Homo-oligomer: A and B are copies of this chain.
Amino acid sequence: MRSYGQCCALAKALDAIGDRWTLLIVRELMIREACRYTDLKNGLPGIATNLLAERLNEMEQSGLVTREAAPPPVATTLFRLTARGRELEPAIAALGRWGAPLMGNPQTTGDEFRDHWVALPLRLYVRDRRPKDAPVRLAIRAGEESLTLETAGDGSVRVQPGTSERPAASIQGPPHTILALLTGKVSLASARAKGVRFEGETKTLERFGGPE
């Protein structure tokens, strides 16, 4: 994109990440840590393959992304965010908070949905209300996506792709109902009515909540 050519921090940020698709690529890499080209393409429905390639090159140039050749078992290139790229998290959180009211039901809007997208709001909005208690691990199966949520000890939670070993509890169901349950927007009873299956100590659930 053309630079705005303005000596302003916001304009400079937009010069770097204001291009179409760029912030969504950051979103994918923030969720998945290391991605193959094809993972990115699947996680970004609607992107043209030439644009994805072009953006990845630009983002590598500007120090947001690194490209590494994975050893034989994988034998492909992996894309990762750099530290500088991960520093976009507060901006993405703020934009996501602002954009949340604009989301409609994907059934009626026809919007694309990917189960793994729920990892981002989980990471950004779910708080550990008792950070000093013993750490807890939660197994989540949101749609077809398996995630592990664990308390980080500072009030935040870590969300990793994959299944967990010996979780304190497990939740399975539609992604956005799981999110609503863990941020305290719906009760366990009404989440169950919407298809959520919860196994384990109920009071594990009380440990989690939304912001503030």
A90: nearest residue on chain B (CB-CB)? B94
Does chain B have a CB within 8 A of A99? yes
Q: Is the CB of B87 within 8 A of A91?
A: no
* Known A4-B24, A13-B102, A121-B9: A93·B96 in contact at CB below 8 Å: no
Q: Is the CB of A16 within 8 A of B112?
A: no
Q: Is the CB of A13 within 8 A of B112?
A: no
Q: Is the CB of A109 within 8 A of B11?
A: no
Query: Which of B9, B96, B121 is within 8 Å of A102, CB to CB?
Result: B9
* Known A12-B99, A91-B98, A94-B90: A109·B7 in contact at CB below 8 Å: yes
**SS of A interface (majority):** helix
Interface string of A100-130 (1 = CB under 8 A from B): 1011101001111100010011000000000
**Which chain B positions have C-beta within 8 A of A15?**
99, 102
**Which chain B positions have C-beta within 8 A of A7?**
103-104, 106, 109, 111-113, 117
A47: nearest residue on chain B (CB-CB)? B4
Question: In whole angstroms, how far apart are the Cα atoms of A112 and B88 in the complex?
Answer: 25
Question: In whole angstroms, how far apart are the Cα atoms of A1 and B19 in the complex?
Answer: 12
* Known A87-B98, A94-B91: A110·B5 in contact at CB below 8 Å: yes
Does chain B have a CB within 8 A of A194? no
Q: Is the CB of B20 within 8 A of A100?
A: no
A89: nearest residue on chain B (CB-CB)? B94
Q: Is the CB of B96 within 8 A of A9?
A: yes
Q: Which residues of A contact B (CB under 8 A)?
A: 1, 4-16, 18, 20, 23-24, 27, 45-46, 87-88, 90-100, 102-104, 106, 109-113, 117, 120-121
13 further A-B contacts with Cβ under 8 Å, apart from A15-B99, A91-B95, are A1-B20, A5-B46, A5-B111, A6-B117, A7-B113, A8-B103, A9-B99, A9-B102, A9-B121, A10-B23, A12-B102, A13-B99, A91-B91
**Nearest 5 pairs of A and B residues by beta carbon:** A13-B99, A91-B94, A12-B102, A7-B111, A7-B106
